[in-house]
Structure 1
Amino acid sequence: MVTVGVDLAAEAVRTAVAWLDWSPGRARLERVEAGAGDDLIVEAVMDAAKAGIDCPLGWPDRFVDFVAAHRAGHVQVPEGQEGRVWRRDLALRVTDQVVYEQTGLTPLSVSADRIGHATMRCAAVLAELARRGRPVDRRGCGVVVEVYPAACLKVWGLPYRGYKRAANLTGLGRLVDRLLEAAPWLDLGGYEPLCRASDDAIDAVISALAARASALGLVTVPVGEQAATEGWIALPTAPLHRLAP
């Protein structure tokens, strides 16, 4: 089994893809590509048993309805609600709110933050996958599953903050150390230096691990019909060692 992890940004320069090959006794990092373009992402997903993409797969249904109503000039604020209360469901998907309830972490808002740019790119990638015969079920039931590395790390008891950007290379190295201690069956091979130098690369690896958890059924299952359009973040429901081949 090969699982793929995609740390998707708005542009290729901050995008990384990782391939994990699962064989008896170990999971080996076969390849990591930083600066990944759309074509590479599509090819990687096409060949994967399961692919975890770190990016929202859709927008909040209520936000989509709100934009349509605003265009028509018919926006209505729910009676008795003002400010943040009624805007919350426009900014956060159901899955974002579930992640917060279960982990205390709030995913970036796809409708009110810059991650919306990455989601536009993701939508084009999903469309190309469908064109090639691999349509994506945004609930995670098909080849693609939406993942959230920080939440995975927290669930697995690993450092989930303080490892991003060049200023935090020490924290990134600490994360890699802790990951390898917790998963002695994980072999980063010749790509370990890159994982210690690039938080995009390590997030892609974590996304590939989360894809493995999804393939084994060790993640949360979608609730509500809106997951089919908004997307669903698959949170691990078992310790990291349960992924061991």
Structure 2
Amino acid sequence: MSTVATRLFVGVDLAADPRRTGLATLREEGDRVRIESVRVGANDDDVLAAVLSAAKAGIDVPFGWPRQFVDLVGGHHSGDLAVPEDTGPDWRRDVLYRRTDLEVRRLVGKTPLSVAADKIAYPAIRWAAIAARLREQGVPTPLDGTGVACEVYPGAALAAWGLGAVRYKKAKGTQERGELVEALDARWPWLDWAGHQGLCATSDDALDAVIAAVVAREVLHGRAVSPPAELTAAATDEGWIWLPALD
């Protein structure tokens, strides 16, 4: 008798505040995929346990910082910073944005927040601590997402699926969020939402967690955009935002 392989896919919309952290788990059994759980409110222990249970986990947070930013801070601290010829917009862009950020903008027209200069740094620092706990348990956390956890960006994933124009965040996006859930339900006939549409329509944190889990599944099944050869080193050093295969 053959057995049906079961795998869990986890999505985490990681906020600096555990109370606003979305956490979703999908269960895949053969060709069937079901949302096993979705919640808003997850502390570090919750995220750690979920990632440890996953075949692949999509984390909505930057995994690393721009190499030139790291070098600038280190050089400034040590007093041996190489003097730049020009501190204009091009230089600042290279200091503040990772190669993957620029590639996402090129591919889908969405510019990720700068982990070096925006509030996204708060959850990124939280993830760095959680990643350290994973490594402590023997789970590698390569920045390029080739381990169990990969970096995802739900807004860019939606753009890759042709849904990037939807403004679904916060209370002002309530109606659009409900319409987006319906659009995703139609796009994903293979997914059993198991009654979680209401929470996802109510909370963008919950919805982003589900999208993150779906992208993690796409990555594991080889239906995602991996780093091109010329960006492999940058992805290893700075992180890589995994997009689902472009429509």
Query: In the aligned structure 2, how far is the partner of 1:118 from the partner of 1:183?
Result: 29
Map of 1:69 onto structure 2: 75
Describe the shift of the 1:147–1:13 C-alpha distance in structure 2 as closer, same or farther (beyond 3 A): same
Q: Which runs of 5+ in 2 are unaligned?
A: 1-6
Residue 118 of structure 2: SS of its match in structure 1? Answer: coil
TM-score, structure 1 normalization:
0.93
- Give 1:120-159 correspondences, 5 Å limit: 120-159=125-164
Aligned: 1:199 with 2:204: yes
**1:16 counterpart (9, 13, 22):** 22
Distance 1:164 1:157 in 2: 17
Q: Structure 1 unaligned runs (5+)? A: 240-245
Counterparts of residues 79-228 of structure 1 (less than 5 Å): 79=85, 81-222=86-227, 223-228=231-236
Partner Cα distance (2:184, 2:127) in 1:
28
Q: Say if 2:30 is the partner of 1:31.
A: no
Asked whether the equivalents of residues 156 and 164 of structure 2 are also in contact (C-alpha less than 8 Å), the reply is no
C-alpha RMSD of the superposition = 1.4
User: After the TM superposition, which of the residue ranges 153-162 and 99-108 deviates more from structure 2?
Assistant: 153-162
1:82 CA displacement: 3.1
Task: String of CA shifts for 1:129-183, please: whole Å, max 9, x gaps.
Answer: 1111112111111101111111111111225531000121101001000000111
Structure 1: distance between partners of 2:34 and 2:237: 34
CA contact (8 A) 1:7 1:17 kept: yes
Q: Using the alignment, how far apart are the partners of 1:164 and 1:55 within structure 2? A: 16
* 1:236 matched to 2:241: no
Distance of aligned partners of 1:87 and 1:18 in 2 relative to their CA distance in 1, 3 Å threshold: same
CA distance in 1, matches of 2:115, 2:165: 21
* Matched positions, count: 238
Q: Equivalent pairs: percent with the same residue?
A: 47
| 2: CA distance, partners of 1:204 / 1:191 | 12
The amino acid across from 1:208 in the alignment is A
Instruction: Note the C-alpha offset of 1:225.
Output: 1.2
Q: Deviations over 1:194-229 (max 9, x none)?
A: 111000000000000100111011112222312223
Task: Provide the TM-score with structure 2 as the length reference.
Answer: 0.92
Aligned counterparts of 2:160 and 2:214: Cα–Cα separation in 1: 13
Worse-matched range after superposition: 10-19 or 217-226? 217-226
| More displaced stretch, 89-98 vs 22-31 | 22-31
